[in-house]
């Protein structure tokens, strides 16, 4: 294992096993942080003029938004779009971590750079996330639309959403928002791996420390890395969400004003003109909570599953050696 050092000696894990651990980490994490994702998306898609920033929007505070969604749509609303979101997390986690391990191993084997340095992790983490984004963008668009729609629902289920978008908007609809996503995902994911590497070195534990302490360190370092990287790259996430709901205005009328954008630059210009620079950071509070939990849990569960697989390999190896000795 070149990219990560889970602290277990002996068994070397493959890119396929890294993909399996990444998928499992994404699945568990998504189930835990879905409500924050729904809150973030609702804030990001809300249109308010600068002069009346607090009055025009349906949602104006984190707890107020939580109570409003709960009372109007029920508890299940916080898991709207959960199926495409889960598919997205599983797919993204698999591609991202498998690519990351592959890239760091390539750097380790073909260059003189130390694959454990923060700089290498930034580059490999960013490229791995770009690969995962291209593969998983349709699922991200579906997830955003499910989380964005109110009642009555436009899309009954995932199958209905896929066919409705394809018939009414064409194949390119699944890739709306890809440009700002790719622009943002490279530095965002790169910074996640970069700061995770740095924070883990700063909070390095002694070799005698137990696995529970090491897992807690992964959670803390991942949370810190997620919050820092999210704050730096947040506006591009907002642009992506606004572009992903193009052609979906009917489902948004219940929440207030809607806008149409011709592209990324038009989206940026309209937000700056109508909502000010502060508009680029709408939904930042729930997004930071989500980023802290999401990134922290992702790294926590990723290393947890890596350790579990490595332990299983070591046990099988030990059992095999024991049998060989007994046979001799």
Reported as a single tens digit per residue, the pLDDT across 253-273 is 555 567 788 888 998 999 898
Q: Please list the alpha-helical segments (H only) found in 74-152.
A: 82-110, 118-148
- Average pLDDT over all residues of the chain: 81
The DSSP symbol for 8 reads -
Can you tell me the distance from the alpha carbon of 13 to that of 317, in angstroms, rounded to the nearest whole number? Answer: 13
Instruction: Please tell me the predicted confidence (pLDDT) of residue 141.
Output: 85
What pLDDT was estimated at residue 38?
83
Q: Please give the Cα distance from 18 to 24 (Å, whole number).
A: 10
Whose tokens are 């939904």? That residue is 283
The tokens for 253 are 């009328």
Q: Which residue has the higher pLDDT, 213 or 293?
A: 293
70 C-beta neighbours (distance < 10 Å), count: 14
- Residue 56 or 5, more confident: 56
Mean pLDDT of 20-36: 86
Is the CB of residue 117 less than 8 Å from the CB of residue 183?
no
Among residues of the chain, what percentage have pLDDT more than 70?
Answer: 83
Residue 317: what are its φ and ψ, rounded to 5°?
-65, -45
Short-list 291, 182, 170, CA closest to 240: 182
Residue 6 scores a pLDDT above 60: no
Distance, in Å, from the CA atom of 83 to the CA atom of 142, rounded to the nearest integer, reads 10
Indicate whether 194 pLDDT > 90: yes
On the question of pLDDT at 11 being above 50, the answer is no
State mean pLDDT over 12-40: 82
| Confidence grade of residue 165 (pLDDT, cut at 50, 70, 90) | confident
Q: Are residues 50 and 276 in contact, defined by beta-carbon separation less than 8 angstroms?
A: yes
Residue 131: per-residue pLDDT: 94
Query: What was the pLDDT predicted at 251?
Result: 57
Residue 302 has phi, psi (to 5 degrees) of -60, -50
Q: Find where tokens 């003189």 sit.
A: 112
Does residue 214 have a pLDDT over 50?
A: yes
For residue 242, the model assigns a pLDDT of 83
Task: State yes or no: pLDDT of 71 exceeds 50.
Answer: yes
Model confidence pLDDT, tens digit, residues 278-292: 888 887 887 888 889
pLDDT greater than 70 at residue 52: no
- CA quadruple 125, 126, 127, 131: dihedral sign: positive
pTM: 0.69
Distance CA 130, CA 99 (A): 10
Which of 22-31, 52-61, 170-179 bottoms out in mean pLDDT, i.e. has the lowest? Answer: 52-61
And the tokens for 219? 């959670």
Q: Is the pLDDT of residue 2 over 70?
A: no
Burial of 109 (0-12, 13-18, 19+ CB in 10 A): exposed
**What is the residue extent of each domain of the chain?**
15-307
pLDDT for residue 59: 78
**Burial classification of residue 282, based on how many CB atoms lie within 10 Å of its CB (0-12 exposed, 13-18 middle, 19 or more buried):** buried
d(CA 275, CA 269): 10
Q: Which fold has domain 15-307?
A: Mitochondrial carrier fold (1.50.40)
Neighbours of 182 (CB within 10 A): 16
């Amino acid at each position: 294992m070149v990219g990560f050092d889970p602290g277990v000696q002996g068994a070397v894990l493959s890119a396929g096993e890294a993909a399996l651990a990444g998928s499992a980490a994404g699945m568990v994490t998504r189930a835990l942080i879905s409500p924050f994702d729904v809150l973030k998306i609702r804030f990001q898609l809300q249109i308010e003029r600068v002069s009346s920033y607090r009055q025009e929007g349906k949602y104006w505070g984190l707890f107020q938004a939580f109570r409003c969604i709960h009372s109007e749509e029920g508890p299940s609303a916080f898991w709207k779009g959960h199926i495409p979101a889960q598919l997205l997390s599983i797919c993204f986690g698999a591609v991202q971590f498998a690519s990351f391990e592959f890239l760091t191993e390539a750097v380790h084997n073909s260059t003189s750079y130390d694959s454990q340095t923060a700089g290498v992790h930034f580059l490999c983490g960013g490229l791995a996330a770009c690969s995962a984004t291209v593969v998983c963008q349709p699922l991200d668009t579906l997830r955003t639309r499910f989380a964005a729609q109110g009642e009555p629902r436009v899309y009954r289920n995932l199958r209905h959403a896929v066919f409705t978008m394809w018939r009414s908007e064409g194949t390119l609809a699944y890739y709306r928002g890809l440009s700002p996503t790719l622009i943002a995902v490279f530095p965002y994911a790169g910074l996640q791996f970069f700061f995770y590497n740095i924070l883990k070195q700063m909070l390095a534990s002694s070799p005698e420390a137990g696995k529970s302490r090491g897992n807690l360190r992964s959670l803390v370092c991942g949370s810190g890395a997620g919050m820092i990287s999210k704050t730096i790259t947040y506006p591009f996430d907002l642009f992506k969400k606004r572009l992903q709901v193009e052609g979906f205005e009917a489902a948004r009328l219940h929440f207030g004003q809607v806008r149409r954008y011709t592209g990324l630059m038009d989206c940026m210009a309209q937000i700056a003109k109508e909502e000010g620079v502060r508009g680029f950071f709408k939904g930042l509070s729930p997004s930071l909570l989500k980023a802290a939990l999401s990134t922290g849990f992702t790294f926590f569960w990723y290393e947890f599953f890596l350790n579990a697989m490595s332990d299983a390999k070591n046990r099988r190896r030990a059992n095999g050696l024991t049998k060989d000795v007994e046979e001799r």
